[in-house]
Amino acid sequence: MAVVGLGRMGSIYASRLVAAGVTTHAFDVDTDATRRLGEVGAVAGSSVGEVAKAAEVTILSLPTPAIVEDVVGEALRTGPANPTIVDMSTIDPATSIRLHGLVAEHGGSFLEAPVSGSVMKARDGALTIMVGGSPETLERCEPILRVLGSNIVHLGGPGTGQTTKLCNNAIVTVTLCALAESLLTGVKAGLDARELRSVICKSSGASWLLENWLASTSFAGDYSPLFALELLQKDASLFEQASDELGVPTPVTSVARQMLGAAAARGLGDRDMTAVVQLYEELADVALLSQADSG
């Protein structure tokens, strides 16, 4: 097994595979990340080609479509013949479809497998994995995916996994902004944020994000990134691009994505995606929590 891209998620994937007894080769352009995985039992590699040659399956966990394309290209040029590549990044469906074809031209197999759950579920191997590609490739790779996720869903052929992930993250984008607007309106009207959250969680406006994610970030006063705001902004942009190509209007997602962009422009891009709440706090001139509550 090879893991290329040792950001927070890729490092968790590699660590879980090592813990499961899978011989795991790891590489990232960040040599410190590669070294840290070597210290916990992975085989540290010096290039994409080196780790791909040593493994039956190569997992990618990378930030952008362009980087995924570059790494797949390098793996095809310098890696093994007939490679099996599993892309767990979030990219646009069109690029993923193109990569399915490119890898097949080289006698290999490509599987798109974007995930949902972020670090909160990744550490426990409880991710939802949205698979697009051939059933045969999934059957071969499923034992490895079962180490990383508990809900593995085959959506269909090339592009279907990425489309599903982008649809999910469009909802996340819109929901976060709606939650920020709702909660801060209530607080500015004199309501207690925690009490308001509790009532909404038991009402028709309930959401998993409000009940679980914001509890760890906004309501804990901690915006350490479980999933970075700039990555959600990227995903929302990819969703808009895919929707536009299909002729589907997305005005609500567009406005929410612009709010993420405004938050990123204020230096919040590398914080958790829920840091968009901090932008709304600034614009509304009100804090979600009192100083005593947040302390």
Last residue in a domain, options 105, 123, 156:
156
DSSP designation for 164: H
User: How much of the chain exceeds pLDDT 90, in percent?
Assistant: 97
- Tokens 């959401």, residue located: 207
257 shares its domain with 131: no
Residues in CB range of 294: below 8 A, 6 or more apart: 221, 287
Q: Which pLDDT score is estimated for 294?
A: 55
The CATH number of residue 116's host domain is 3.40.50.720
- Do 97 and 9 belong to one domain? yes
Q: Quote the distance between the C-alpha of residue 228 and its chain's center.
A: 9
Summarize pLDDT for 148-183 with one digit per residue, the tens. 999 999 999 999 999 999 999 999 999 999 999 999
165 catalytic? Reply is yes
3-state secondary structure 65-128: HHHHHHHHHHHHHHCCCCCEEEECCCCCHHHHHHHHHHHHHCCCEEEECCEECHHHHHCCCCEE
In the set 53, 165, 188, 234, the catalytic residue is: 165
Instruction: At 157, list the tokens.
Output: 């052929």
- pLDDT tens digits, one per residue of 18-73: 999 999 999 999 999 999 999 999 999 999 999 999 999 999 999 999 999 999 99
Euclidean distance between CA atoms 165 and 65, whole angstroms: 14
List the one residue out of 53, 15, 17 whose CA is nearest residue 34: 15
| Domain boundary, last residue among 156, 173, 207 | 156
Distance CA 137, CA 278 (A): 43
Domain enclosing residue 204, as ranges: 163-294
Hey, what's the torsion of the CAs at 172, 178, 183, 188, to 10 degrees? 150
CATH code for position 222: 1.10.1040.10
Q: Are residues 196 and 279 in the same domain?
A: yes
Other residues' Cβ atoms within 10 Å of the Cβ of residue 46:
10
* pLDDT per residue as tens digits for the range 270-294: 999 999 999 999 999 999 998 656 5
Does 257 have pLDDT greater than 60?
yes
Helix (H) or strand (E) holding 149, with range, is strand 149-156
- Count of domains observed in the chain: 2
Q: Domain check: are 149 and 193 in the same one?
A: no
